């Protein structure tokens, strides 16, 4: 081998400070094309990312080769969203070279923080569902599981949120503007995806009826691969995202006609498929482009999965033994009809065999019971966009209902509920029912949510298939959400119990004893204080507001949604403000209310709540009569990077959704793991968090899901009565409705007041207000006793081990996917 090439080859792998530094300089000059004097922070970020990427490529290929050689069963996680965030610290940390990189940069006169901060946030998701997918990728790779993520490479991620005059304004999020050093374009991995056209019936070679989809438009799906570095760097998995490309022969006819501009226009239109992420969290749009996005990435992924399978196999009966496909909600559920089409139409399998294979391959995760989020596409739209799939869905439905009818002795109401087609009003395809029927396992994301699935949306299906529904309580990756986001606490933990917790979070239970150790408590507080200072500086930079580091940092960060009840928190804020003004001589526990979260651009009520928080902040923060005892901040543009700064600094974690409405929550887990005490309802995973941290170490309030259900069913809830009987609630609401926070437009908050009163208060904000205030008081009271507070905070951290996404993913692997760890062979000259 050429000696120069060889030395460079070794350089690409070295992990010591000198090697990294030389490698940075080489990348800077020869790939970024700058010298050190001219390089910007962004140039350095690209340089470092490319040099780090070099260090994973060999191990990535080893991993992929090992899966191939062992013909291992793979799991394919199909998700319309992957909310990844930044990758530089994550990659360095999982490779174990954070310090080396910092020193190498130091020798070049650069600060690691500056370089890290130049990376844009990969925001290819809205909230919990997308972030869960990203945590699962980290956990699968860290467990050595052969897991692939499949999704869309959106050119524009979730919009950037700014506040203008207190209102949310959306700006495009151009994360790819300066290139993405982590991805590898695969122009040769290209699959055709069809839309529209019509179905032709014909006779196959043995004279049976067969179908082909003709006259369709074609778009190409091109792959971009991002390596997913597992902890320790042994396993490097792949996230494959599809980008839409026009076919080369696109409207060739137009060229012959001389209609060149028209052809180019068509090309641009077809490439819109992967242009932008829909910004709705837990609500559906019903837009045709969204349906096309769903089919686009699902079809490309299935073609890729079958291609990989066929490298080792000639028939399909073993597909379920070699591939598990997990549907992240119903967004990829059209894949059930697509796999049937591929097996029956293209590979000539018999229907019943294809159906058995399909069902054994797919599993489905439901993430919400909110009716407005359950996908139901108009039959007319599917007929037009995916005509062959509509036929297949009808066929699945007919066979299923026929079988069921035989046993259902005439219960037509039940049959119509089980049907894949909703016949009430405009006929629609119920994607949840399709996903349920086409999967061998269906799961909810917390114990409570799974029980409610059995009792509500899937009650009839559960009766029909009692073994299909199972629970997989969500989790979070301790690498990103403790080790990386909270170095102060992580280092403290590691000095006391070693670093085993990073890959086995159950070991963090060894901290339980330390809750009674006065020295450890002092150090725990010191770490929290450091994080609070970091957040205070961030708040000052972002909002200009100065907050007291010694105040309670009371944090509610999540998407803006009525069911998450930011309004309940705002009402408490106003009530507390009034109490402080009324009693200026009392020595109050200072409180900083921290909010952050985006509202869907078309969700007017959520946007009005944002404006209200900003208006309340303006009044409270400038009122000298409360001194500095109360501050309210709403941080703009909440994303993964902001979460990494906010969460480690929280004292109190707000998880206050109306019971029965939050499927799980995962922010609740991140905050408790970082030593925040939860104030919350018995909703989603809060129920299990209480079981793990202990009822004495959490502030639970409010109605239970059952009580909510009964109250709603009784139809007897009257918010007016509740308000009249609670003077502090009445006063807070009166202030909102008379314009105390909006003197420039006194009617501004009429819709909010209306919803909470004559509107019937669907989310039961007023019903839970008094008990919420009681829980808040208990929290403030406890905060006066720093030793007791810290003891409970430590017990939260120590008792959250079960909520690692490693645990979650292992449960899926064992109970749903039947996949097993593979240990890649790194016999080459890999590192370590
Ligand atoms: C559902 C349909 C469309 C768009 C988004 C959703 C969605 C998002 N459904 N659930 N989520 C959240 O998922 C998280 C992960 O499971 C849960 O923790 C959270 O409670 C859900 O609201």
Ligand 1 atom at shortest distance from the alpha carbon of 449: 20
Considering the domain delimited by 74-86+121-474, tell me its CATH architecture. Answer: 3-Layer(aba) Sandwich (3.40)
Classified as helix, coil or strand, 562 is helix
Reported as type and span, the H/E element at residue 556 is: strand 552-557
Q: What is the pLDDT of residue 259?
A: 77
Name the band, by pLDDT with cuts 50, 70 and 90, for residue 252: low
Mean pLDDT of the chain: 95
Q: Which long-range contacts (CB under 8 A, 24 or more apart) does 114-118 make?
A: 114/41, 114/44, 115/41, 115/44, 115/45, 115/48, 115/88, 116/45, 116/86, 116/88, 116/89, 117/41, 118/40, 118/41, 118/42, 118/44, 118/45
- Decide if 74-86+121-474 and 478-803 have a common fold: yes
Residues 184-210: tens digit of each pLDDT:
999 999 999 999 999 999 999 899 999
Lookup result for tokens 């010694």: 550
Does domain 478-803 correspond to CATH entry 3.40.50.80? no
Q: What is the pLDDT of residue 614?
A: 98
663 in contact with ligand 1, CB cutoff 6 A: yes
Among the listed residues 91, 160, 149, the one whose alpha carbon sits nearest the alpha carbon of residue 123: 160
Ligand 1 atom at shortest distance from the alpha carbon of 128: 14
Residues 266-325: tens digit of each pLDDT:
888 999 999 999 999 877 778 999 999 999 999 999 999 999 999 999 999 999 999 999
Among the listed residues 535, 531, 527, 533, the one whose alpha carbon sits nearest the alpha carbon of residue 511: 527
Task: Classify strands 184-195 and 699-700 as parallel, antiparallel or unpaired.
Answer: unpaired
Reported as type and span, the H/E element at residue 703 is: none
Q: What is the pLDDT of residue 11?
A: 66
Q: What is the pLDDT of residue 9?
A: 54
Residue 396: CB partners within 8 Å, gap ≥ 6?
336, 337, 340, 355, 420, 434, 437, 438
Pocket test for ligand 1, best of 448, 471, 663 (most atoms within 8 A of CB): 663
Q: What is the pLDDT of residue 251?
A: 59
Classified as helix, coil or strand, 174 is coil
pLDDT at position 1 over 70: no
Q: How many CA atoms lie within 13 A of 225 on its CB side?
A: 18
Residue 63: CB partners within 8 Å, gap ≥ 6?
234, 235, 236, 237, 822, 824
Which residues are identified as catalytic? Answer: 367, 558-559, 564, 666, 670
pLDDT average, residue stretch 725-747: 98
pLDDT at position 517 over 60: yes
pLDDT at position 831 over 50: no
- 369 token code pair: 């019971």
Cβ atoms 489, 674 nearer than 8 A: yes
Cβ atoms 736, 753 nearer than 8 A: yes
Q: Which long-range contacts (CB under 8 A, 24 or more apart) does 683-687 make?
A: 683/448, 683/655, 683/657, 683/658, 683/659, 684/445, 684/446, 684/448, 684/449, 684/655, 684/657, 685/445, 685/446, 685/473, 685/474, 685/803, 686/655, 686/662, 687/446, 687/447, 687/448
pLDDT at position 3 over 60: no
375 in contact with ligand 1, CB cutoff 6 A: no
Residues 4-39: tens digit of each pLDDT:
344 455 567 788 999 999 999 999 999 999 999 999
Q: What is the pLDDT of residue 5?
A: 42
Residue 190 φ/ψ region, left for φ over 0, alpha for ψ in the -120 to 50 degree band, beta for the rest: beta
Ligand 1 atom at shortest distance from the alpha carbon of 131: 15
Residue 127 alpha carbon to ligand 1 centre in Å: 7
For residues 281 and 734, which has the higher predicted lDDT (pLDDT)? 734
- 202 token code pair: 């014909």
**b/e for 212-233, b at 16 or more Cβ within 10 A?**
ebeebbebbbbbbbbbbbbbeb
Lookup result for tokens 């995973």: 685
Q: What is the pLDDT of residue 832?
A: 37
Strand partners, 164: 167
pLDDT average, residue stretch 341-355: 98
Q: Whose CA is nearest to atom 2 of ligand 1?
A: 282
**b/e for 735-759, b at 16 or more Cβ within 10 A?**
bbbebbbbeeeeebbeebbebbbee
Q: What is the pLDDT of residue 257?
A: 67
Q: What is the pLDDT of residue 15?
A: 87
Residues 459-486: tens digit of each pLDDT:
999 999 999 999 999 999 999 999 999 9
pLDDT average, residue stretch 566-570: 99
Ligand 1 atom at shortest distance from the alpha carbon of 685: 18
Q: What is the pLDDT of residue 409?
A: 77
Cβ atoms 429, 334 nearer than 8 A: no
Cβ atoms 132, 684 nearer than 8 A: no
Name the least confident of 178-187, 405-414, 575-584.
Answer: 405-414
Domain ranges in the chain are: 74-86+121-474, 478-803
Alpha-carbon dihedral sign for residues 308, 311, 314, 320: negative
Pocket test for ligand 1, best of 129, 448, 660, 680 (most atoms within 8 A of CB): 129
Please provide the distance, in angstroms rounded to a whole number, between the alpha carbons at the two ends of the chain: 23
125 in contact with ligand 1, CB cutoff 6 A: no
Residue 760: CB partners within 8 Å, gap ≥ 6?
717, 719
Q: Whose CA is nearest to atom 19 of ligand 1?
A: 665
Q: Whose CA is nearest to atom 3 of ligand 1?
A: 282
The predicted complex's ipTM stands at 0.97
pLDDT average, residue stretch 758-787: 98
Q: What is the pLDDT of residue 2?
A: 39
662 in contact with ligand 1, CB cutoff 6 A: yes
DSSP structure string for 60-102: HHHHHHHHHHHT--EEEEE-S-EEEE--HHHHHHHHT-HHHHH
Cβ atoms 397, 420 nearer than 8 A: yes
Reported as type and span, the H/E element at residue 737 is: helix 727-738
Query: For residues 188 and 196, what is the distance between their CA atoms, to the nearest angstrom?
Result: 25
Name the band, by pLDDT with cuts 50, 70 and 90, for residue 255: low
Alpha-carbon dihedral sign for residues 492, 495, 497, 499: positive
Residue 124 alpha carbon to ligand 1 centre in Å: 14
Name the band, by pLDDT with cuts 50, 70 and 90, for residue 828: low
């Amino acid at each position: 081998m050429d000696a120069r090439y060889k030395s460079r080859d070794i350089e690409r792998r070295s992990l010591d400070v000198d090697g990294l530094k030389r490698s940075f300089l080489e990348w800077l000059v020869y790939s970024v094309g700058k010298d050190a004097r001219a390089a910007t922070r962004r140039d350095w970020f690209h340089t470092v990312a490319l040099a780090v990427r070099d260090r994973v490529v060999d191990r990535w290929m080893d991993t992929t080769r090992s899966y191939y050689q062992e013909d291992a069963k793979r799991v394919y996680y199909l998700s319309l969203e992957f909310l990844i965030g930044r990758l530089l610290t994550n990659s360095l940390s999982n490779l174990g070279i954070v310090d080396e990189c910092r020193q190498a940069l130091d020798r070049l006169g650069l600060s690691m923080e500056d370089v890290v901060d130049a990376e844009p946030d990969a925001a290819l998701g809205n909230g919990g569902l997308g972030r869960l997918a990203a945590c699962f990728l980290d956990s699968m790779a860290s467990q050595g599981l052969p897991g692939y993520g499949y999704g869309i490479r959106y050119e524009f991620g979730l919009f950037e949120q700014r506040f203008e005059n207190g209102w949310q304004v959306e700006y495009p999020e151009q994360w790819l503007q300066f290139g993405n050093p982590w991805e590898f374009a695969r122009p040769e991995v290209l699959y055709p995806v069809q839309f529209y056209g019509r179905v032709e019936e014909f006779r196959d070679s043995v004279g049976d009826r067969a179908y082909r989809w003709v006259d369709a438009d074609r778009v190409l799906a091109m792959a971009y691969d991002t390596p997913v570095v597992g902890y320790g760097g042994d396993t490097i998995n792949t996230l494959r995202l599809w980008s839409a490309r026009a076919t080369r022969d696109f409207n060739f006819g137009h060229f012959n006609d001389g209609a060149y501009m028209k052809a180019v226009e068509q090309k641009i239109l077809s490439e819109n498929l992967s242009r932008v992420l829909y910004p709705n969290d837990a609500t559906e749009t019903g837009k045709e482009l969204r349906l096309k996005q769903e089919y686009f990435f699902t079809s490309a992924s299935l073609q890729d999965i079958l291609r990989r399978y066929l490298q080792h196999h000639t028939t399909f009966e073993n597909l379920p033994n070699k591939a598990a496909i997990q549907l992240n909600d119903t967004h990829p559920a059209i894949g059930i009809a697509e796999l049937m089409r591929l097996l029956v139409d293209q590979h000539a399998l018999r229907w019943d065999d294809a159906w058995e294979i399909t069902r054994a391959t797919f599993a489905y995760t439901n993430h919400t019971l909110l009716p407005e989020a359950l996908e139901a596409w108009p039959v007319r739209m599917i007929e037009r966009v995916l005509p062959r799939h509509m036929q297949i869905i009808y066929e699945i439905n007919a066979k299923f209902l026929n079988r069921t009818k035989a046993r259902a002795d005439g219960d037509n109401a039940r049959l119509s509920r089980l049907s894949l087609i909703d016949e009430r009003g405009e006929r629609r395809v119920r994607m949840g029912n399709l996903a349920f029927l086409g999967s061998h396992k269906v799961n909810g994301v917390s114990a409570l949510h799974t029980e409610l699935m059995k009792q509500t949306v899937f009650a009839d299906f559960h009766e029909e298939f009692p073994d299909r529904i199972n629970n997989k309580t969500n989790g979070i990756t301790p690498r990103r959400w403790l080790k990386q986001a909270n170095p102060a606490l992580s280092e403290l933990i590691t000095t006391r119990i070693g670093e085993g917790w990073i890959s086995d979070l159950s070991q963090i239970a060894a901290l339980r004893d330390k809750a009674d150790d006065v020295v450890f408590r002092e150090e725990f507080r010191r770490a929290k204080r450091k994080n609070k200072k970091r957040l205070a500086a961030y708040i000052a930079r972002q909002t200009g507001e100065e907050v007291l580091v010694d105040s309670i940092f009371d944090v509610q960060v999540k998407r803006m949604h009525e069911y998450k009840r930011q309004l309940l928190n705002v009402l408490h804020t106003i009530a507390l403000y009034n109490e402080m003004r009324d009693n200026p001589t009392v020595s109050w526990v200072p409180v900083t209310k921290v909010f952050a979260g985006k509202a869907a651009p078309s969700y007017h009520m959520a946007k009005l709540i944002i404006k209200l928080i900003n208006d309340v902040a303006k009044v409270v923060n400038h009122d000298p009569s409360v001194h500095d005892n109360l501050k309210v901040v709403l941080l703009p543009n909440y994303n993964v990077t902001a979460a990494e700064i906010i969460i480690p600094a929280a004292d109190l974690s707000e998880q206050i959704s109306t019971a029965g409405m939050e499927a799980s929550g995962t922010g609740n887990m991140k905050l408790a793991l970082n030593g925040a005490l939860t104030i919350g309802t018995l909703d989603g995973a809060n129920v299990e968090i209480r079981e793990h941290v202990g009822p004495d170490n959490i502030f639970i309030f409010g109605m239970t899901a059952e009580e909510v259900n009964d109250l709603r069913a009784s139809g007897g809830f009257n918010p007016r009565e509740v308000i009249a009987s609670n003077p502090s609630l009445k006063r807070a609401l009166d202030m909102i409705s008379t314009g105390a926070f909006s003197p420039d437009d006194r009617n501004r908050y009429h819709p909010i007041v209306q919803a909470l009163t004559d509107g019937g208060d669907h989310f039961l904000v007023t019903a839970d207000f008094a008990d919420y205030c009681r829980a808040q008081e208990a929290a403030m009271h406890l905060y006066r006793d720093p030793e007791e507070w810290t003891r409970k905070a430590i017990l939260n951290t120590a008792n959250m081990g079960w909520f690692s996404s490693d645990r979650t993913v292992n449960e899926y692997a064992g109970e749903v996917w039947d996949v097993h760890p593979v240990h890649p062979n790194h016999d080459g000259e890999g590192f370590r």
